[in-house]
Structure 1
Amino acid sequence: MNQNQTENSPKKVHFISLGCPKNLVDSEIMAGTLMKDGYEVVADAEDADTVVVNTCGFIEESKKESIQRILDMTSLKEQGQIKKVVVAGCLTQRYKDELVEGLPEADLFVGSGEFQNIAKILKNHDAGEKKKTFFNLPTYLQEEATPRVNSQPKHRAYLKISEGCMKRCAFCAIPLIRGNLQSRTIQNIVNEAKLLAAGGVKELIIISHDFTDYGWDLRRKDPNAKESPVELLKALAEVDGIQWIRMLYLYPDGITQELIDLMKSNPKFVKYFDMPLQHINNDVLKKMNRKMTREEIEVALKRIRTEIPDAVIRTQFIVGFPGETNEQFEELLKFVSEQQFDRVGCFKYSPEENTPGGKMTDQIEDHIKDFRHDALMSIQQNISKVKHEAFIGKTVEVLVEGYSEETELLLQGRTSQQAPEIDGVVLINDGEAKIGDIVKVEITESMEYDLIGGIVQ
């Protein structure tokens, strides 16, 4: 704890947010709730009274990272640098009993249906309440009056439109952790978007577990409900101040002609399709409980490229799913080579407890998963290199985000075709601009994932 802190100064809280942007929004809600209640959110754990570790419980690697960060913080507590460690998020929700028993040095465990009550939980604990665990429903759906502090640069923000998922993919534990699909109303979402825009946000990044299923639950309850992906986008396009609207997690079965027509019709919608495919062999897709065939996926891809030739398509694949044969993997490699995707992520299958995939007997050995991952990414790296070289000599619009992470001699930004955190950046080596400006940059050099250029008038 800060040595200069007095008895009457605000309690200080530090957040460690792990995993996906959806988890980050939960951390922002906790921060907003605490600040509204008089707490101060600080940038460094050593300056805090309380550290909240908002965990991820999606795959094995993220679980290990979450546990390590919790142990790091409890070590600080033992050294007397902080007073309290709170464990929140998906890992907490998923492994309630195991975490509480295995981490006695942590003070509080807050599930994904209780994090909105963080201020009350901390105050009661300070007042002497002995209760350590807080688990309610699997998730909390953001409300109209929910406080939230945007932790992103002022010009961009994530906008979470729903919780849970109606898909039941055999490899995924999200429905076990977060429950079934729950959509916010369009009015609720638009009101938040207006608040974000008033705060200087120019880029909205729409997040959910599946954007294309948005509103299905509301329409099921009420046939007159208007909530749908297209109607939501139409409403968000009317928000003054927003210049870029980016959608993440579009499943291929929801890429309709109506959605494509809308994205073509308004320059606010960035021409960026984040569309997880997971595999392309029909037998593997069926075993994964994906609801599309290779043929249907190819129709969706062709539709996008025909209607919006300059669209960026980002996808992800899983290698080493139980029973995946060499022939099925080779089919995937050939597909990646043929399709020339702009961005590809690749995951080595991680067997998850209580999922159909985790119970399958024909698991693939780790060294085979490693080989397949490296083989697929090697092909994609060559594709990315060629695609980036094609930008040399072109002038593109870039949203300036600050100085480069590597050197303050260079500005750094993104084109509309680069999503924050997951894609590359544009390094600006000539010209001046302020953070949040959208400027024209002539590309002069390219790297595997990044571009380099100077501002032109």
Structure 2
Amino acid sequence: MKPKDRQRPLRVGLISLGCAKNLVDAEVMLGTLLQDGIEIINDPARADALIINTCSFIDAAQEESVDTILESAAFREAHRHGQALIVAGCLSQRFRTQLRELLPEVDAFMGVDEVPRVTEIVHQALAHRAARLDARPTAPARGRARAVQEALARAVASQAPAGDRAGAANASASSVPPPAPVAVQPRPQYIPDYATPRFRLTPSHYAYVKIAEGCNHPCSFCIIPQMRGSHRSRPMDDILHEVRALLRQGVREINLISQDSTYYGLDLRPRRTGAIAAPDRFRAAVRELPPEVPTLARLLRALNDLPGDFWIRVLYTHPAHWTDELIRTIAECPKVARYVDIPLQHIHDNMLERMRRETSRAYIEDLLNRIRAGIPGIALRTTFIVGFPGETDACFETLLEFMRRVRFERLGVFLYSQEEGTRAARMSQQVPAEVKERRRQQAMALQRQICREHNAALVGRTLRVLVEGEVRARGPVPAEVRSWEHGLVRAGANGTSLVPGRWMVARSEADAPEIDGRVYIRGTLPVGEFATVKVVGHTDYDLIAQPA
């Protein structure tokens, strides 16, 4: 810091990438920094330290993380030399032994378990940056993104214990600064609790509540268990304590998140001997649980009993861990949104087996039928992966036929991403990129038509919506939406064109924040409150309404 700045608090900025679970970690870091007297700032040019909370879920998310790091380093060189750069989140967790050499611009790395230590790590990073300026190294940040990505891929493929020396050499010329501190535990154990400081980054009317962390599933395409550790649930009383506080703050929608929300509580059972994956074993274990052990169904009933007018939305449920009790609970709890987020990934038995999804086509079809029959008015959201190794034209046609028959209200499509370090990356019969893209476009064209037909059936009906805010953009509202956790969820260049006038944007019970449809309402309604509207029109993905 400059001498004239020594009397003011440290200023820290933060960029959070990736999923809602990562966003909660960012909120915890900001809350901790504020509690420790550090000022949070949105302008990177005025920040003494900048934290980038990274995602490494698929290649595209990892590329975005690396690009953001290098762009931030280049911005620092141009505008604020003394700024410390800190990399947190999944990229640090996954490449904890490689990044110090591959990204010498960074002043500290921190993993999942180090989120509560963020203030200490900020001070370490500032000290490292000061020492680095004294050493005056040459570290050009521009033009290295591809080299870093390739080095990370080689590192994982070879399980290299250290960084790519050739890649690092490009970033270091004459003087060698002290190595950046790395605070990353190899197997994360941390999960926040109610007492954890938190500064929410969502609008005031909705919040994400992390009920568990980590994952026990062996999916052949996924690296989340390697980055986030095994499944670990929060005590139910702790969750209820947090939700009560959020409701007192005026929150109208509680979004429950974890890597596998349907596994919630099973790791807290007495005398457990390991993880349970297969549906039959899971159902048997749930039947044997003593009443004091929480499950998702018990948590939902407890949340539903809390006073107030609010929605409870469950995200990230695994098809292998649904029970009849969970179906009954959603049907019987009026505050639980009639919305099911259930990533299926595929329906062809050969693909499900190669993906190690622990479910079969017959099981999935029976489950969906039971959910539809047991929860009237339910909206089903899922995601599919196209182009997985071994996916033939016949497998893909089976998937399309399944989509036509089930007619999901909400659906996203991933291109298979060949993640080094996963079982699927080593499989034969990898699908060419152009075939994967063609299949994704076919699947999304079909889903766009299904969504349009769903929306047309809603015209003339009244809906309860949660008002998000006023539409300020002029002209069409963009229709294409991509998400690292939900794939491509809106396809097509045509947006929602609104006639001149004052419009509000809202979400229905069938729409999760930031990923699903929108309801555009002509007129004025209170932001952050529920309202009843009448649907008077629709587009491919959105509804047009007026206050009822």
TM above 0.5: yes
Matched, 1:96 2:107: no
Show the 5 A alignment for 1:22-421.
22-81=21-80, 83-126=83-126, 132-136=181-185, 137-221=187-271, 224=290, 225-241=292-308, 243-404=310-471, 406-407=473-474, 409-421=502-514
Structure of higher CA gyration radius: 2
Once the two structures are superposed, residues 189-225 of structure 1 have per-residue CA deviations (whole angstroms, 9 ceiling, x without a partner) of 1111112112111110000111111111111547655
Partner Cα distance (2:4, 2:27) in 1: 24
The alpha carbon displacement at 1:270 in A equals 0.4
Q: Which residue of 1 aligns with 2:520?
A: 427
Give structure 2 stretches of 5+ with no counterpart. Answer: 132-177, 273-288, 475-500
The alpha carbon displacement at 1:255 in A equals 2.4
The alpha carbon displacement at 1:393 in A equals 1.3
Partner Cα distance (1:221, 1:120) in 2: 38
Once the two structures are superposed, residues 337-382 of structure 1 have per-residue CA deviations (whole angstroms, 9 ceiling, x without a partner) of 1111101100010111221111112211111101111111110011
Q: CA RMSD in A?
A: 1.9
- Change in Cα spacing, 1:375 to 1:397, as seen in structure 2 (3 Å) is same
Q: Which residue of 1 aligns with 2:536?
A: 444
Partner Cα distance (1:141, 1:191) in 2: 15
Partner Cα distance (1:262, 1:196) in 2: 23
Partner Cα distance (2:320, 2:73) in 1: 45
Counterpart of 1:399, as a letter, is L
Q: Which residue of 1 aligns with 2:546?
A: 454
Counterpart of 2:24, as a letter, is V
Partner Cα distance (2:303, 2:42) in 1: 32
Once the two structures are superposed, residues 247-279 of structure 1 have per-residue CA deviations (whole angstroms, 9 ceiling, x without a partner) of 001112222211111111121000000010100
The alpha carbon displacement at 1:405 in A equals 5.3
Partner Cα distance (2:472, 2:383) in 1: 26
TM-score by length of 1: 0.95
Give structure 1 stretches of 5+ with no counterpart. Answer: none
Partner Cα distance (1:41, 1:217) in 2: 36
Contact 2:33 2:119 in 1 (8 A): yes
The alpha carbon displacement at 1:126 in A equals 3.7
- Change in Cα spacing, 1:246 to 1:405, as seen in structure 2 (3 Å) is farther
TM-score by length of 2: 0.80
Partner Cα distance (2:31, 2:4) in 1: 22
**Local SS of the residue matching 1:323:** coil
**Local SS of the residue matching 2:506:** strand
**Local SS of the residue matching 1:341:** coil
Partner Cα distance (1:265, 1:405) in 2: 38
Partner Cα distance (1:17, 1:211) in 2: 22
Identity %: 40
